[in-house]
Amino acid sequence: MGSVIDGEDVVQDALTRALAALQGLDETPALRPWLFRIAHNRALDLLRGRALRRTESIESAMDIADEVVADPLETLMRQDAVNTAVSRFAELPTTQRSVVILKDVLDEPLVEIAALLDLTVDAVKGHLARGRGRLREINAQASATPESRPASRTVTRYVALFNQRNWDGLRALLADDVKLNQATHPLRTGRTDVGMFFSIYARSEGVWLVPAWLDDREVIAVFDHRTDPCPGYFMWLEWRDGRISHICDYRHARYVATDAELILAHGGGGLSEAAPR
């Protein structure tokens, strides 16, 4: 997906669909290839700009990947892909991106990749070679140290109010129909229900926020303690007419930030006191 946020949405959707589909199966399929097929199809749907399909062809996800011992040369060839920032894959054409990730990141056999993408093995090899070459060019052109960007006024205000523990001020920013997403928790809707979100954080004295950027999206880095060298997770907000319409908090899904190229913003207020860049 080129974004850990969009990727997490695909994972959650795929797992929901898989759980529903399993109830109608007489036998449990080989889960790894089956789940991956569902997730990959979901990702392609989004990349093509289409709405998510309501049904999934379970039979299409029943292929089982053969176990293959990694060749030392192949291992070396995979390093560029494995060490590449998630966002840079978005610069590859969709098919090249799929082939490179399937082979070099997930180590799927060429035959299985061909079946998954409805290509010949020779076509997969061609896309792999071109994708690897383009990825090397992208990595060579990319700055070793990503440039920091300024924070918006809205996010700067939110962060300042939070760090001041001005919970009433934050609640005043909520839209009447605001929604709160917290991974493992049920969706909260409405100012009253979402307002409880700040009551929970009021009990976490050390938490400190800093404006940040992730995959060209403005987010908020969350430090468990103000003196921590790195943020523990992040959250992002959607705004409508100057009010917060959606909060997505990854406090309970910290793995999403593991491979994220999170860049702290400059000029966000209190940044230099929060953590080194």
pLDDT the model gives residue 20: 87
Mean of pLDDT over the chain: 79
Q: Give the lowest-confidence range in 45-54, 62-71, 192-201, 250-259.
A: 62-71
- Whole-angstrom Cα distance, residue 46 to residue 165? 38
pLDDT the model gives residue 56: 38
Q: Are 212 and 220 in contact (CB under 8 A)?
A: yes
Phi and psi at residue 112, in whole multiples of 5°? -70, -35
> Using one digit for the tens of pLDDT, what is the confidence trace for 113-166?
888 888 899 999 999 988 888 888 877 776 555 667 889 999 999 999 999 999
The H-or-E segment that residue 145 falls in is none
Question: What spatial distance separates the first Cα and last Cα of the chain, rounded to whole Å?
Answer: 26
Domains of the chain: 4-141 (1.10.10.10), 153-274 (3.10.450.50)
In this predicted structure, the answer to whether residue 6 has a pLDDT above a threshold of 90 is no
Tell me the helices (H) and strands (E) count for the chain, helix number first: 10, 7
Sequential DSSP letters for 53-102: PS---GGGG---PPP-PPPHHHHHHHHHHHTS-GGGGGGS-HHHHHHHII
